[in-house]
Structure 1
Amino acid sequence: MKLFIKVLALLVISVALPVQASDLQRCKVQNQYSFSACERLALSGNPEGQFGLGMLLLEGTGVKKDYRRSFELMYQASMQGHAAAQFQVGQAYVNGQGVERNFEEAYAWFLVSKENGNPIASRGIQFMESKNLIEKSRMDSITQRANDIYASTLNKKGFEYDDTESSQNVSGIAEYCDMVMPTVDSVITYKKYGKPQSEARQLMIGMTDQRAIKMMNGVINWVWSTDVSVSEMSRYFKKKCLRQSKEVSFIFP
């Protein structure tokens, strides 16, 4: 009965508080007068309102802090493709604010946020990597989780998710290595221009095949750990591929 009353009260509020034309602007200002505007937008399902109200509750601006409610609102906005909210969901998982701390889930959400155009997400990724909060052996699963999140959100701004993508069968080691090298070279390019591993891992967003994800993680880890000079990496890697060397075994099915 109490649950029914709460639901009914929420419905009454949403009817009694119609969205006003100025609500979006007032909500974005994020001051002590923004709460009502953000609340009206949030109740209407507007992702900007959900994000704005979530920030007010997170920081305690004009209202008592409520991490749990903030996380719920951020999550709702995130599932509509709101990149800034996706970053905040990741932050919540890092800090354990409103949700149980989970570094792997945080990293996955940062990947999704960055893919949807939020440059700040890179800082979250770099922070986690600098603190060794993610085990390299878990990166395949984390990347797959990021893909699953990305696939389930609306209004994607990055790569289109292709759930029909799969590995291609090729005949002959030379043909296989020729097919692999463009991908390897694209990763090497990131290293060549001083980009962090986290940016190279963005190449995996949209992948659905587990073997492809495993191969990409292997290539990235190899490029950033090998003593081979950047100028020689491509030639060296292909030579190892043609010999089916254990050093690059991660690229083979």
Structure 2
Amino acid sequence: MAAFEGHEAALFHLGVSYENGRGVQKGLRLAAHFYRLAAARHHVAAQYNLAVMTAHGKGVKRDLEKALALILIAKQNTDLNPNVRLRLNQFQTAVETMLSNAQINRTEWQVVKLFGTRI
């Protein structure tokens, strides 16, 4: 019921359930769908999980620039605890090693234009 009403934590947990096949038949496309819904509601873990799926092409088309954008958006949350920020930074570094400087700059520019803040 909570997920039906759009609660971001419930949507995130549905994504986890579908990604892992816990209580439901495993479905990566459905997992990505629920992560996307939670991510749009600023759920940082959903943004991270969707970024990982996007970087690896699990349930969605592989797109490293989109994965980087999701990480940069997640990092906009100033209330992140240090462990979460470290994990985001590590994944960002891993993705950036697979992108050119032009791709990184373009992605950063797009995130700044969308959210109006510096990264």
- Given the alignment of the two structures, is residue 121 of structure 1 paired with residue 94 of structure 2, yes or no? no
The match for 1:112 among 73, 77, 80 is 73
| Alpha-carbon separation, structure 2, partners of 1:97 and 1:67 | 6
- Given the alignment of the two structures, is residue 66 of structure 1 paired with residue 66 of structure 2, yes or no? no
1:35-69 CA-to-partner distances (Å, cap 9, x unmatched) read xxxxx221111000000110111111122111111
- Judged with a 3 Å threshold, the aligned counterparts in structure 2 of structure 1 residues 67 and 148 are, in CA distance, closer, same or farther, namely farther
1:199-218 CA-to-partner distances (Å, cap 9, x unmatched) read xxxxx32xxxxxxxxxxxxx
Q: TM-score under structure 1 normalisation?
A: 0.42
- Judged with a 3 Å threshold, the aligned counterparts in structure 2 of structure 1 residues 68 and 148 are, in CA distance, closer, same or farther, namely farther
| Alpha-carbon separation, structure 1, partners of 2:110 and 2:6 | 25
Alignment of 1:113-192 (within 5 A): 113-116=74-77, 117=80, 118-119=84-85, 120-129=87-96, 132-148=97-113, 151=115, 161=116
| Alpha-carbon separation, structure 1, partners of 2:113 and 2:3 | 25
Aligned to 1:175: none
- Given the alignment of the two structures, is residue 87 of structure 1 paired with residue 48 of structure 2, yes or no? yes
How many pairs are equivalent? Answer: 113
Q: TM-score under structure 2 normalisation?
A: 0.85
Supply the RMSD in Å over aligned alpha carbons: 1.6
- Judged with a 3 Å threshold, the aligned counterparts in structure 2 of structure 1 residues 148 and 64 are, in CA distance, closer, same or farther, namely farther
Where in structure 1 do 4 or more consecutive aligned residues deviate above 3 Å?
none
- Given the alignment of the two structures, is residue 96 of structure 1 paired with residue 57 of structure 2, yes or no? yes
Unaligned runs of 5+ in 2: none
| Alpha-carbon separation, structure 2, partners of 1:68 and 1:143 | 27
CA positional deviation for 1:144: 2.2
CA positional deviation for 1:115: 2.4
The amino acid of 2:44's aligned partner reads A
Bigger Rg over Cα = 1
Unaligned runs of 5+ in 1: 1-39, 152-160, 163-203, 206-253
| Alpha-carbon separation, structure 2, partners of 1:70 and 1:148 | 28
